[in-house]
Amino acid sequence: MKISFLCFDLSDNSLGRAALLAKAASKDHEVELIGPIKASGLWEPMKDLDLPIKSFPWGRFPSFAGTMKKMAAAVEGDVMVACKLRMASYGVGLMARKINGKPLLVDIDDWELGFFLRANFWGRLGRMLNWSNPNGMPSAWLMERWVARADGVFVSNRFLQKRFGGDMIYHCRDTEILDPDRFDSNAIKRRLGLEGFKTIMFLGTPRAHKGVEDLIQCMRFVEDPKARLVIVGAGSELEEILERYPEVKDRVKVFPRIPFSELPDYLSAGDIAAIPQRHTSDTVGQMPAKIFDAMAMAKPIVSTRVSDIPDVLGGFGYLVEPGNVRGLAEALNYIISHPEEARQMGANARRRCQENFDIRILREQLMECVGKAGGKIR
């Protein structure tokens, strides 16, 4: 069987979930990734992705309608999985199904409209009028209205399940690759210039809803002088934030975006993994994938009570209220001053990840969803 995974933007971090699903399925089946790509090329952390990819130039309507038809005609899979409720993925899948009659599933791992709704009135109005963008608010709204047209739905958290129904498939990780015993954290710290420091690791694009500014602010109250906040995956946008907190700038070390293949090295160099999600319309329907990376690598995790984070951690992490800078600092101080408890907490989190969120489990869940939709040949 061949499965076609439709990604709405191969140049964006949306490729992460699509590639995860495709990698899981590729163990036993042929797969292909199909989607539009921008001039910047494949999403930088996945430049070396070893999967068959069919890319098409990104554009705007009305010309992009022709590109969508070409993408739909290029689908070769016996089953299609549209990743996200976006026109350039789910919309293409609906078009392809009219051509080939093959089952179409949709994977929903974000509340797409939530990203638009956080704007003020005029921002929302502008986004509502952005008809030419195939990934804009009007098309996202339309795709959400059409979710029932799919032959199967699966989601990544309970908020989305309540909103759209479907089966639950959390993000997962390959815990054999992400195994702390495979990495010499001290040697990696030396290589990265972090030797002798207590490292608080934040991995990923530092967008506002991910709480990176809360984390920077809280360094004012982290007591250990050897504590350093390490942000991996940042661009120039972080400089503006750091300028607002000059008193902690020397305690923050920033690394640019890295390939996914290097993620375990950087995570291994962290003593604590920080995922301080804020509570916004962006995050209520989002389950941060970096939680699973940190669990797999047995890192003590400090995070917030947002979305399914408390349920996924299952008590094996340190939780604070979203946006509580002082509370975040207190949790970090506690972890640093209780190293043995923190080590055991990380070990328990890894065990939980192995038992519940390993890639083999995602593979089984995905193929069960594919199997249920497989009888809906049109």
Q: Are residues 299 and 244 in the same domain?
A: yes
> Can you read off the two tokens belonging to residue 102?
């093959």
Same domain, 292 and 185: yes
The answer to whether residues 111 and 160 touch, using CB atoms and an 8 Å cutoff, is yes
Q: In this structure, are 226 and 273 located in the same domain? A: yes
Examine the domain organization and report whether 152 and 32 are in the same domain: yes
39 and 15 within one domain = yes
For residues 23 and 126, membership in a common domain is answered with: yes
- Domain at 302, CATH number: 3.40.50.2000
CB of 52 closer than 8 Å to CB of 75 = no
Q: pTM for the full model?
A: 0.93
Residue 334 domain boundaries: 180-356
Number of domains in the chain: 2
Residues 251, 307, single domain; the answer is yes
* Non-local CB neighbours of 49 within 8 Å, separated by 6+ positions: 15, 19, 42
Q: Are residues 26 and 105 in the same domain?
A: yes
Structure tokens at 149: 């047209």
For the chain, what's the residue count?
378
Beta bridge partners of 155: 108, 168
Same domain, residue pair 261 and 344: yes
Q: Are residues 154 and 253 in the same domain?
A: no
pLDDT beneath 50: ranges in the chain: 377-378
Please give the C-alpha separations between residue 378 and each of 26, 75, 87, 98, 358, in angstroms, as whole numbers.
Answer: 25, 16, 21, 9, 33
Contact 222, 215 (CB under 8 A): no
Same domain for 185 and 334, yes or no, is yes
167 and 283 inside one domain: no
